[in-house]
Structure 1
Amino acid sequence: MKQAPIFDTLSYSRQGAICRITLSKPRTGNKINPKMASELRDVALLTNNDEAIRVVVLTGKGRHFSSGLWSNPKLSDYPTTSLQAAASITQIQVPVIAAINGDAVGQGLELALAADIRIAARGAHFGLPHLRKGLLPWDGGTQRLPRLIGRSKALELLLTGENIDVYEAKRIGLINRVEDLDNLNSVVDEIATQIAGAAPIAARYIKEAVTEGVDIPLDHGLRLEADLSILLHTTKDRSEGIQSFLERRVARFGGK
């Protein structure tokens, strides 16, 4: 059995078709430093190269999901691109679920915004307080947040820098669900298992259609949807889906 890769700032494991990435610097609040950003880029590539993976769970160890960017007097010595982490998550081709076990603040929230589904534990808080330090979000916050919750509400959060709790986050559509911390992993695993049991190529195409479609005109999006649907009809999974329906049995999708 192939040994799981070892990282310094995060842990990586796979059970069946479900991959789990855990930010593992709890003493720092899982703050994102250049090493963690680099390892997230590596793990995204690793995930995309493993055909057995059908869904990814991203979470944090300890009390925080991620409390933001690493603080260091030499921070200005690093190019911004070396600290960006959210883009690595968006490059993962399979669906990504963020299991938000605690506060997701600053760059930590930007990282969560890069996931496809966000499930949060009660007690978690969310915010982008960059303006209070004379900064603006630079890991996707100004772009992904308004696309998710709308321009006006996004500007309110960005310009006040205030934190919100899980209930407000759920109300405005920032997160999908709120769960007790003790139940968070089991709920996320249930969703991940459901996705992993679906046709993997179709799941990837759905993610691609939605992700790309929101940034292009509707007629272009409909064309993309049609093109992906045509491609899907050439797969063995599509034939298996039809055959299993006719035979009234559970489909066995192989990702081919």
Structure 2
Amino acid sequence: MAPSATVEHRALDGVAYHLGGALDLTRPATSVVEVVAEGRLHEFTSGPLGLADAVAGSLGITAFDSELAFQGGTLRTVTTSEFDPQAQQVESPTLVVWQGRRHSLVTRLYRAALTDVLLLLRTLGLAEHPDGVTLTPDQEAGTRWARPATVVKEVPGLGLVEMSRRTREHGAQLPPWQGASVAAGELFRDSLSDGRPFFVLNGDRVWATIVPLADTAIDRVPGLVDGLDLRVEE
């Protein structure tokens, strides 16, 4: 058991998730959010500084088409050519990466020139904070949230934890049985389609799913969650 510690991760929609307890909370976290801009859906992912390089590397990208200073960081773009077997056509996605002092932001846009990338980002209010990157869509410019952002964090011994702001839609997804009472709310156990167990934490302001990993002792999860100090600040 790790010594008690406290960390904070800020989601792309500005919600800060505070986690504390006797667990290893040192792993980095990522945040994912979907934004609607002029009727089109775009997904953005933020994380530690190396996230941008890791995504580019996974796509086999070693060089970018453009690089410029933007919003206190460095913005890079590269357009590649890919064959989409489902659509049976060649696509030309543009990888967009922004790196600040400690964090980065990644998205892929289709049929987008550099001017389109800049126009979109300027309507999203990109800003870096000590605990993460935030976006602030400008509704007057035609951008808005599609749904609350999530924060995903691996916690050794517990599993993969995905957190978001609780919504009415989440309440409709709760299992029909009563969950176990824990410090942050009510904990439910359910099964994935392949039979593997997972857990849902339903709190007053936070909704979290916990997927056990190889090092997770399933029977210990309720106790570990009960000892987890999980709070949100909007």
TM-score range for the pair, normalised by the shorter chain length: under 0.3
Higher relative contact order, chain-length normalized (CA < 8 Å, sep 6+): 2
User: TM-score w.r.t. structure 1 length?
Assistant: 0.25
Greater fraction of residues in helix: 1
Greater fraction of residues in strand: 2
